[in-house]
Structure 1
Amino acid sequence: MRVLVTGAAGFVGAAVSQKYINLGYEVVGVDNINDYYDVNLKKARLSHLNNYKNFNFYNVDISCLDTLNSVFIKHSFEIVVHLAAQAGVRYSIDNPAAYANSNLVGHLNILECCRHNKVAHLVYASSSSVYGLNEKTPFETADSVDHPVSLYAATKKSNELMSHSYSHLYGIPTTGLRFFTVYGPWGRPDMAPFIFTKKILNGETIDINNNGDMWRDFTYIDDIVEGVVRIADVIPTRNDEWKVETGTPASSSAPYAVYNIGHGSPINLMAFISEIEDALGIEAKKNYREMQAGDVYKTYADTSDLFEATGYTPKVGVKEGVAAFVKWYKEFYNK
């Protein structure tokens, strides 16, 4: 079995690639290794993957259709796990063009390559940010997601719409996964667990948004990876009985599905910071501030649909997960 993982040098992409390698798949990874954050971290992730004979890597920008399609033609993938994207909510406020190129043009190119190369299943990363102004929790895939509060979120909702159109027009089975806050070893430097750990160790002050009154459905990387790999084996099929008036927007008459993937138990931001402090043995210097543009107050995933489809149940609690991240961070950065 041959699988393509886009964004293979990224946090989730590298972990998914490693899982498929361990399962004996032939894995091809693509990534443009851009400088949105430290490229040395991306290269370090890749260096581990490149040790395996069943892994091949291509430095490819998914917004370049011809180059991307050449990889599809060469390898004939059964499964595509599309995780490459320009990430970050706040970065999208200052750099909107980067999101159009990667998240819109890039996603369209993936769909076109899947269409013309007869891929059996496309699994792609959406985001919990699509829930936007929705205040009802837990977030369900049946909820409206028509009011995003960042361009990043808008591009992820667009990815779901684009995928549905290709599933409908060309019969391509597509599954979107709305990721909730992912953390763990090899995590992204632009995300709160990494930022807090780095600053606390350096004796710097951490900024705490909304005066600490925020909640996130923190999900450990191993749990995310297990969910991704399991759902890739659950290929959506047509359902001619489905109707817009009575069906959930997370399914369709086309071979299309959308799921939440998260822990399903939101953690208060201050409690999460406390776990980092405990793991480091250092009390943080704190600066409390107002809610920042593009932020949402609370994320909380209803993952019952994913559990029904795969048996996926998160295993790693926040104490265990934070301890593992802090241990990795101190070892990787010699702290």
Structure 2
Amino acid sequence: MFSTISLEIARERRGLTKKELAVKAGLTPEHLTRVIKGKHIPDDAAIGSLAAALEYPKSFFLDEPSDQLVQENVSFRNLSSLTARDRNRAIQAGTLALALNDWMNKNFSLPTFKLADERFEDPAVAAHALRSYWGIGNRPIPNLLKLLEMKGMRIFSLDRDNSMVDAYSFYRGSQPYIMLNNSKSAERSRFNLAHELGHLIMHMHIGSDGEASNPDAKENHPDNIRRQEKEADQFASNFLMPPEDVKDHLPIVRNLDQLIDAKKRWRVSVAALARKCFDLGILTDWRYRAICQEISVRGYRRNEPEEIEKERSVILEKMLNLLMTQRKTLSDLAKENNLPEDEVDTLIQGVLLRKTARPESAKLSLV
């Protein structure tokens, strides 16, 4: 049966207006509008034309999606500067991630997500509590992406060319997801991951029914959004750079080069570390301003000095390695999910990055 929902998902993923799709598919705008509204069921030839125009397999349009992500469940930090096209394109990437994750759950044994029952409103307290719950104390986190995956979070990639969206997060039931644009610097990607973790921990609470909710986000009031974004940043700062550890290893800051060398311990940007030192009183207001100015003059706002290696998904890498043992390719994976190969490639390759595998990194098995 033809699915108008699937048609709209594909159209928004390709960033096409209805008029543009009609022209590409050789249909009149009126005809396409009737199809989208469910007032006309397209014949096989029309479905084929739509599939060809969108470069999606016909099978994608002949089944309803198991679930669809909606904007109300997502909080974009820069919503006012996002075009509807970019916003919808990013949201529908999450919809495809849900479908791919369903397939993964059926075929593999994946880590499950567990979280303590306590709820914390203070970002510093929340970061410290989560570190304690996960048993990592005040130690630096060498691979944040791996840590979150091992704790049961699902992390997929956004389109690299959609630069206005760094990341977003959401729950489906009690399962957390993070959609990450990993085209940024490795340090920024880590901070974005920690930022979204803050939203998941502090702002989206799982109720007794197993469903997550965010009461403040439903109001969508600018003041609530600004507050939550600030809290998520504070959480990320404290989670990646525990105050006690920073004070122990960086009690005095003499110059910017010292910060560039020290940032390797916490794997954060030099600007984030400078801000942390200011917040902890290690840097005076005058010295912090001077260092920020020097960071800008040296061009470190755009090009991070001594950039670290980007983190990769060990779960997805392990999955692909297991599929390879069955002589299956990325194309086979796409066909099994009724998706174009480029869409599957976008979802997983952006958080893979490297081809070498470490079998011990993720205990993933076929089911």
**Shared fold per TM-score greater than 0.5:** no
Structure with higher helix content: 2
Q: If you compute each CA radius of gyration, which structure gives the higher value, 1 or 2?
A: 2
More strand by share: 1
